[in-house]
Amino acid sequence: MALSSTQPLNVGNVVTTAFQLYKNRFKPYFLLALKAYFWLLVPVYGWAKFCATSALISRLVYGELVNQPETIKDGTRYVNSKLWEFLVAAIILGLIVVGAYIVFAIAAGIAAVFGGLVFSTGGNGALTGIAFVIAAIAFIALFVVFLLILVRFYVYEVPLAIEDNINATSTISRSWELTKGFVGRILLISFVALLITLPILILGQVVSATLQSSFAVLIEQQSILSLPLVILNLGLNFALGAVQLPFTQAVKAVIYYDLRTRKEGLGLNLRDRNI
């Protein structure tokens, strides 16, 4: 698939490029992602390894994009040198998201109370209708603002995995800087990528729900099969997650590079060759 050498990647090219790289490197990326999910079973250190390994996939994809492919061993050595930075960055981002959610919940609650007060005072139908419309608009506006804030941190771990002199705090500000002015574009790319991975998500939910129902029955019967079923459910969820995670990280890597191309004038070498 040849890409244009003069124009930045469009939405379709971002997703297609990410999918092609994901498909071409499926086995090593899948094994990395599977290892990352099993690291989640180890408190703290394992969580840091999950964050670092996920970011490693984006680093490897980026290397392919710039025609500077890197071995998994070398890439692992680099991200491991920043292992705890990845965990700290994830914690900081989590706090930001929680804080934004609290503000959103409080503001949404105020809007709901406003509509309820108008309704409870027995105002005329027109006034009540207007109040609820205002409350609904306020709720939607607040949700959109909350969503836009989340998108600004979409590639938060990628600079840390790729750029030198970046730490847990500066990688978050770097994501905020790069995504400025491109929120709608990133949302659209994320939506298209979600459509591609939707069958995997649905399959995971169906399998998990089926196994959980069986597990509940076996628990009631005090069956010795309950523990193997739990392990099977966990393994299947990890496997399905390991199929999806590399594609998500590939999309992030392509978005990150395209944003740098648009803002910093970097040339995308991949556009001049086939993948």
pLDDT band at residue 25 under the 50/70/90 scheme: very high
pLDDT digits (tens, 9 = 90+) for 102-133: 888 887 777 777 666 666 665 556 666 776 77
pTM of the model: 0.83
Q: Which residues contact 83 (CB under 8 A, 6 or more apart)?
A: 48, 49, 52
- As beta bridge partners, residue 274 has 2
The predicted model gives 244-257 an average pLDDT of 95
The string of pLDDT tens digits covering residues 154-212 is 999 999 999 999 999 999 999 999 999 999 999 999 999 999 988 887 877 787 777 66
Going by pLDDT thresholds of 50, 70 and 90, the confidence category of residue 218 is: low
CA angle 257, 261, 266 (to 5 degrees): 100
> Average pLDDT, stretch 245-270?
84
Rg (CA), the chain: 22
Task: Tell me how far apart the alpha carbons of residues 168 and 192 are, in angstroms, rounded to a whole number.
Answer: 29
How high is the pLDDT of residue 146?
85
